């Protein structure tokens, strides 16, 4: 896979929700997304935004103690949190990934599992810039990043148009 890199800064939960909706349009069943960032960076918040974009209304919480949680939406979502793991043996990893082929799989703290994970379609690193601002760095196929940028542009245009119609500030 030829890898492309992109980045964006998020300042509000609305921007995170918009990114989640755009990602939900780009991701497909069987896709693996790796999420890196320190505690409190917003990994679970981003998973929640993608879940909403997939039409999942269930509460999305970090599955730190469960390790994995599956949700039903337009595409199933498998949310894995490997924070507590120092590594995973083949059987344990196999059990975690049983549902991955038919789901969008998002893995927080993937480094503990990286030796046994299949190739990821996207990796996102979230860096805390300050209490409200996050820098996201993406690695993916060039076409995926182009599609993501297009969907984000469409969503921003709709947001600005809706705000203008309501008489709100843009």
Residue whose structure tokens are 């890898």: 3
Tell me which of 154 and 27 has the higher pLDDT.
27
Choice among 106-110, 120-124, 154-158 with the minimum mean pLDDT = 154-158
Q: What per-residue confidence (pLDDT) applies to 68?
A: 87
Say what the pTM is: 0.86
Q: In what order do the strands lie in the sheet with 32-37?
A: 4-10, 134-140, 122-128, 32-37, 104-108, 77-81, 68-71
Q: What domains sit in the chain, N to C, each tagged with a CATH number? A: 4-166 (3.40.50.300)
Q: What per-residue confidence (pLDDT) applies to 59?
A: 93
């Amino acid at each position: 896979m030829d890898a492309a890199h992109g980045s964006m800064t998020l300042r509000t939960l609305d921007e995170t929700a918009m990114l989640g909706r755009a990602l939900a349009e780009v991701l497909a069943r069987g896709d693996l997304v790796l999420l890196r960032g320190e505690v409190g960076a917003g990994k679970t918040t981003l998973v929640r935004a993608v879940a909403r974009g997939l039409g999942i209304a269930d509460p999305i919480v970090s599955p730190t103690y469960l390790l994995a949680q599956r949700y039903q939406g337009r595409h199933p979502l498998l949310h894995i949190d490997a924070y507590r793991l120092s590594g995973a043996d083949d059987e344990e990893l196999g059990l975690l990934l049983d549902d991955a082929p038919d789901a969008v799989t998002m893995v927080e703290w993937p480094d503990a599992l990286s030796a046994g994970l299949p190739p990821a379609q996207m990796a996102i690193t979230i860096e805390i810039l300050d209490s409200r601002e996050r820098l996201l760095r993406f690695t993916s196929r060039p076409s995926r990043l182009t599609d993501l940028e297009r969907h984000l542009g469409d969503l921003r245009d709709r947001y600005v148009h809706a705000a203008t119609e309501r008489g709100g500030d843009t």
